[in-house]
Amino acid sequence: MKHKRTTAWILSAATALILWQAVAAWIDYPQLIPSVSGLFLSVLHLFALPSFYISLGATLLRGLAGVIVAFLLALPIGFLCGKKSFWFHYFNPLLSTLRSTPVVAFILLIILWLPTEAVAPTIALMTMFPVLCENIIKGVQSINNDYERLAFVYQINFRTKTRYIYWPSLKPFVESGCVTGFGFGWKAIIMGEVLSKPFAGIGVEMRTAQMFINVPDLIAWTFIAIVVSFLLTEAIRYLLKRKLQTTISKGQNHKRVSSLTSASLKINDITKRYDNKILFERISYEIPSGSICLVTGVSGKGKTTLLNIMAGITNSEEGSIEGVNVKKAYLFQTPTLLPWLTAKENILITAPKDTETSTVTELLNALEISELSDSYSNQLSGGQCQRVALARALVSEPQLLLIDEPFTGLDKELTEKVVSLLVAWAKSHHTTMIIAIHEATDLFPHDIEIAL
């Protein structure tokens, strides 16, 4: 694929040069349109001038300043707008104005308001900021809500969440925004230099060549601007495409709690409605500490919703639950594995900081998937993904373990092994375990049943 792209670039450049040479030969006026050889001689002549490097460096510095400031502003504002609709509507008029106002109008105003040297970087900032910001907003809005629920329940800290959830999700959008924004910004910088005439720059040299009707130099500087823009764009694309080092070799979550003791849960007159539909109304139960509770009922009766209320993901209209402010883990209906992490890394992201990989290996062995520790979710079956998610829940050493339909994708023999593992784990860690399942079964010994 890379070879084909390089070949296409070479053929495209060759085609452009052939067409240029044909036009130059037809016009036959080198002072107006130089030949290809004349163009290259003009470019080589520029390299021999000390002023060339000063002008090139000045434009690059202005562009770099604009890119950095635009990115530093766009990242927090775009993230905020993507998360909260209020801030999206608050900043949207500004973004629309910056996006739709002609660049030359900004330049003419900024020339009046700011010092000459500040015009080009400011124009770059105003041109690149809305493009970057809008791409980041789209990226934030595209983040899977299941990843947010995962981070919330397991109390994954902001640094870990940013590195392993937010950045991998945002990266394609940031890349697109940087490449597109830089393309617009680079042209705006040179235009700003042409009109504001700072001490040096590619735009200044182009303006000087135009004033003295030096067409070969004007075309040579234009060629330099195009080549530099292409090289910088490809450099940005390359840097952003590089894989972030995400290898996780130890637990990433909060420190281990010295003595975990689960609390009794008391459900007090819980009511939950969706629109006009009542899922459950004024239900009350007490779940003793360290017990196993089954929540049963057919699909649509609110089993998952009740677990979500216990996890703090959803609120109830009425009533309360006491004893849920403890360390929790949640095995969701869907495994919710992060696709850019291996199975082992998906487990370690919720594990206490002093957890070693040997602990993870033991769990994977017990779940009969030890050979898949370095596999990604797209290489696993649904049942294998569910077992990885189960290992992730157990390794976090919760006081309250919520499990929603734990047997998805598992055959009978494996189901029995998973049940034995869960029961043994709950007893040894004195964990309160609440399992949502369609109907009670002898396969799963339990102390209490909540029928919805």
222, 42 contact by CB (below 8 A): no
Edge-to-edge strand ranges of the sheet holding 277-287: 277-287, 265-274, 318-322
Residues 186 and 308 placed together within one structural domain of the fold: no
Q: Which of 241, 257, 283 is the last residue of a domain?
A: 241
Kindly list the distances between the CA atom of residue 375 and the CA atoms of 43, 388, 394, 395, in Å, as whole numbers in the listed order. 52, 11, 19, 18
The rounded distance, in Å, linking the Cα atoms of 245 and 99 is: 35
Structure tokens at 117: 């040297």
Kindly list the distances between the CA atom of residue 24 and the CA atoms of 18, 27, 45, in Å, as whole numbers in the listed order. 10, 5, 20
Confidence (pLDDT) at 14: 81
CA atoms within 13 A on the CB side of 436: 24
Region 162-179: mean pLDDT is 88
Q: Give the percent of the chain with pLDDT over 70.
A: 94
Helices within 84-214 (DSSP H only): 85-100, 103-113, 116-142, 145-153, 158-161, 167-196, 202-211
Is the pLDDT at 357 greater than 90? The verdict is no
Residues 427 and 307 placed together within one structural domain of the fold: yes
Q: Which helix (H) or strand (E) holds 435?
A: strand 432-437
Is the pLDDT at 136 greater than 90? The verdict is yes
Residue 433 φ then ψ, to 5°: -120, 130
Q: How many CB atoms lie within 10 A of CB 319?
A: 17
Confidence (pLDDT) at 6: 77
Is the pLDDT at 179 greater than 90? The verdict is no
Number of domains making up the chain: 2
182, 232 contact by CB (below 8 A): yes
Residue 24 lies in a domain: no
Q: What is the pLDDT of residues 13-30, one digit of tens each?
A: 788 878 877 887 888 777
Confidence (pLDDT) at 133: 93
Residues 235 and 275 placed together within one structural domain of the fold: no
Comparing C-alpha atoms, which of 371, 364, 323 is closest to residue 347? 364
390, 418 contact by CB (below 8 A): yes
Residue 432 lies in a domain: yes
Is the pLDDT at 1 greater than 80? The verdict is no
Structure tokens at 330: 């949640």
Give the pLDDT band of residue 2 (cuts 50, 70, 90). low
Confidence (pLDDT) at 4: 76
Give the pLDDT band of residue 263 (cuts 50, 70, 90). low
Is the pLDDT at 246 greater than 70? The verdict is no
Confidence (pLDDT) at 76: 92
Residue 353 lies in a domain: yes
Residue 61 lies in a domain: yes
Residue 162 lies in a domain: yes
The rounded distance, in Å, linking the Cα atoms of 107 and 192 is: 6
Q: Which of 207, 241, 275 is the last residue of a domain?
A: 241
What stretches of 275-327 adopt beta strand conformation (E)? 277-287, 292-296, 318-322
Residues 58 and 186 placed together within one structural domain of the fold: yes
Residues 314 and 168 placed together within one structural domain of the fold: no
Q: What is the pLDDT of residues 287-336, one digit of tens each?
A: 888 888 888 888 888 888 899 999 989 888 888 888 888 888 999 988 88
Confidence (pLDDT) at 79: 92
Which residue in the block uniquely carries the two structure tokens 């009046």? 112
Confidence (pLDDT) at 260: 55
70, 125 contact by CB (below 8 A): yes
Structure tokens at 346: 């998906």
Q: Give the percent of the chain with pLDDT over 90.
A: 14
Residue 17 lies in a domain: no
Q: What is the pLDDT of residues 377-428, one digit of tens each?
A: 999 888 889 889 999 998 888 889 999 887 766 777 778 888 888 888 888 8
Q: What is the mean pLDDT of the chain?
A: 85
Q: Are strands 400-404 and 292-296 parallel, antiparallel or unpaired?
A: unpaired
Report the DSSP beta bridge partners of residue 280: 272
Helices within 197-285 (DSSP H only): 202-211, 215-241
Is the pLDDT at 37 greater than 90? The verdict is no
Residues 277 and 231 placed together within one structural domain of the fold: no
Residues 294 and 394 placed together within one structural domain of the fold: yes
Residues 235 and 272 placed together within one structural domain of the fold: no
Residues 158 and 78 placed together within one structural domain of the fold: yes
The rounded distance, in Å, linking the Cα atoms of 164 and 150 is: 12
Is the pLDDT at 352 greater than 60? The verdict is yes
Residues 180 and 318 placed together within one structural domain of the fold: no
Residues 138 and 230 placed together within one structural domain of the fold: yes
Q: Are strands 328-331 and 400-404 parallel, antiparallel or unpaired?
A: parallel
Q: Which helix (H) or strand (E) holds 450?
A: strand 448-451
The rounded distance, in Å, linking the Cα atoms of 280 and 269 is: 10
CATH number of 317's domain: 3.40.50.300
Q: Which of 225, 241, 257 is the last residue of a domain?
A: 241
Region 421-450: mean pLDDT is 82
Q: What is the pLDDT of residues 43-98, one digit of tens each?
A: 888 888 888 999 999 999 888 888 889 989 999 999 999 999 999 999 999 898 88
Residues 66 and 208 placed together within one structural domain of the fold: yes
Taking the CA atoms of residue 178, residue 180, residue 185 and residue 191 in that order, the dihedral angle to the nearest 10 degrees is 160
Residue 282 lies in a domain: yes
164, 150 contact by CB (below 8 A): no
**Cα first-last separation, the chain:** 56
Q: With 0-12 CB in 10 A as exposed, 13-18 as middle and 19+ as buried, what is 442? A: exposed
CATH number of 122's domain: 1.10.3720.10
Domain of 137 in residue numbering reads as: 34-241
The SS3 call for residue 154 is: coil
Residue 249 lies in a domain: no
Confidence (pLDDT) at 261: 60
Give the pLDDT band of residue 447 (cuts 50, 70, 90). confident
